[in-house]
């Protein structure tokens, strides 16, 4: 296609990166406080024997860990503000890897499906 260099440059201008402003310094500090509090809650839960023995221990820790993971990815890695392609590039392989992990856990008998 015959497109002049200047026109082509304009066509490919980095609009996606300009559109979304990153969080402010105060947001970063708040996120750090939240991450610290979640970590404290996780370690605290580890030292409560009755809670460790209960059914809620593993799901609680997994949820808290997933929450921290999501917060860092969304706010510190700016995935919440950046182009959709970056979300696809990150979440696609992560989804495949997570499904593979679950499949392996079933295969090796760490997880069980209740059939009737």
Partner 1 sequence: MSASVVHTSAPTHAHYTTLGLDNRKVAIWAFIGSECMLFVSLISTYLIYKGRSVIGPFPHETWTDPSTGQVFKPILNIPVTSASTFVLLMSSLFMVLALAAVQNKELPKRTRGERILGNSQLWLFMTALAGTTFLGFQAFEFTSFVHEGLSIRRNLFGSTFFTLTGFHGAHVTAGVIWLSTLLAIDYRRGLGSRDSLLVDICALYWHFVDVVWIVIFTLVYLLK
Binding positions for partner 1, rule: CB under 8 A: 1, 3, 5, 8-9, 12-17, 22, 25, 28-29, 31-32, 35-36, 39, 42-43, 45-46, 52, 58, 61-62, 64-65, 68-69, 72-73, 76-77, 83, 85-86, 89-90, 92-94, 96-98, 100-101, 104-105, 108, 110
DSSP assignment string, 63-113: HHHHHHHHHIIIIIS-TTTS-HHHHHHHHHHHHHHHHHHHHHHHHTTSS--
Tell me how far apart the terminal alpha carbons of the chain are, to the nearest angstrom: 62
With respect to partner 1, which residue has the nearer C-beta, 22 or 116?
22
Q: Smallest gap, in angstroms, from Cβ of residue 13 to partner 1?
A: 6
């Amino acid at each position: 296609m015959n497109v002049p260099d200047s026109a082509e440059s304009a066509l490919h201008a980095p609009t996606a990166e300009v559109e979304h402003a990153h969080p402010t310094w105060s947001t970063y500090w708040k996120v750090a406080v939240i991450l610290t509090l979640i970590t404290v809650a996780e370690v605290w839960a580890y030292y409560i024997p009755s809670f460790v023995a209960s059914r809620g221990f593993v799901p609680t820790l997994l949820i808290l860990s997933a929450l921290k993971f999501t917060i860092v990815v969304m706010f510190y890695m700016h995935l919440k503000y950046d182009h959709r392609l970056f979300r696809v590039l990150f979440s696609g392989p992560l989804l495949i890897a997570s499904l593979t992990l679950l499949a392996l856990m079933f295969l090796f008998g760490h997880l069980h499906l209740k059939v009737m």
